[in-house]
Amino acid sequence: MTVPPDDPRFRREMASAYRSGWHFVDLATAIPHRGDALKITLFGEPIVVAREQDEDVRAYRCLRRPRGAPQPIRCAIRYGMIFVNLDQRDHQLIEPETITATPRSA
């Protein structure tokens, strides 16, 4: 690893990852080439982490239903390590609230 373990930025980032629902999967060197994939089980859920053709690393939750399409989940690489986030609330799209206000006249 190129980052020393006593680096405060590294410790802050790791604390943020563990606190926010992000989970360490493996080192990025585990899937070095395009088309490489890694299948893991995290909290009983099968997950595939793959290096796509555009060199990005993406993660997918494998659904157990027949003919279910893989569901994309959030994936990030920090300091050469792959993290995934399984928190369902983190994957829901939230529409911005529309605030209606009536201006008061003086």
pLDDT in tens, 15-63: 665 566 788 888 988 998 898 999 988 877 888 999 988 888 989 888 7
CA distance 22 to 58: 14
CA distance 41 to 26: 12
Number of H helices, E strands in the chain: 2, 6
Give the neighbor-by-neighbor strand order of the sheet with 81-85.
22-27, 81-85, 71-78, 57-61, 45-51, 37-42
Tokens of 102: 């009536």
Interacting residues of 58 by C-beta distance below 8 A, sequence separation 6+: 49, 50, 52, 72, 75
Question: Is residue 90 helix, strand or coil?
Answer: helix
Express each pLDDT in 63-75 by its tens digit. Answer: 766 666 788 888 8
pLDDT of residue 46: 86
pLDDT over threshold 50, residue 93: no
pLDDT of residue 101: 56
pLDDT over threshold 50, residue 94: no
